[in-house]
Amino acid sequence: MSTVEQQISEEIQKAISANDVILFMKGTPEAPRCGFSARTVAALEALGTPFAAVDILPDPRIRQQLSALSDWPTIPQLFVKGELIGGADIVAEMYESGELAEVLGADRQAGAAPEGDANPPLTIENRLN
């Protein structure tokens, strides 16, 4: 592994450790660049869950190092308290069953409309490139 790849891997690990809920995705929560990322963001926002997000598109090495670290090939990847939850399909299934709300500690039932103004998702600066 090159020095740059090692630095990227370390930054990914720091980001996962520093954020209770973090989504590695294509694009940003405000402008997802694929349908799978958009679906995952929608599930988190529907539960009113604050989350950090990292856009993996600016540098292909981010995706490469993330997948090597998580042993998960697809994007998006959702981590909760340092643990990989999964990608879009798993997050959608968990959302529909109510399990995602449990894992996130959300006090809304799955599918319930957010009350009042939902907190916007946190976005961490992408310093991985």
With respect to residue 120, please indicate whether it lies within any of the assigned structural domains. Answer: no
Q: Is there a contact between 50 and 21 (Cβ–Cβ < 8 Å)?
A: yes
Confidence at residue 120, expressed as pLDDT on a 0 to 100 scale: 41
In a domain, 31, yes or no: yes
Domain that holds residue 13: 3-104
Q: Could you identify the residue written with the tokens 């529907």?
A: 46
Can you give the CATH number for the domain in which 39 is found? Answer: 3.40.30.10
Name the more confident of 74 and 123. 74
In-domain check, residue 34: yes
* pLDDT mean over 6-32: 96
How distant, in Å, are the alpha carbons of 2, 57, 77, 80 from that of 66?
Answer: 15, 12, 9, 15
Tens digits of residue pLDDT in 80-118:
999 999 999 999 999 999 999 999 998 654 444 444 334
Torsion, Cα of 114, 47, 29, 118 (10° steps) = 30
What is the pairing mode between strands 52-55 and 21-25? parallel
How far is the C-alpha of 12 from the C-alpha of 66, rounded, in Å?
Answer: 7
Q: Is residue 79 part of a domain?
A: yes
Q: How many domains does the chain have?
A: 1
> What per-residue confidence (pLDDT) applies to 106?
80
Residue in this structure with the two tokens 């500690």, named with its chain if needed: 105
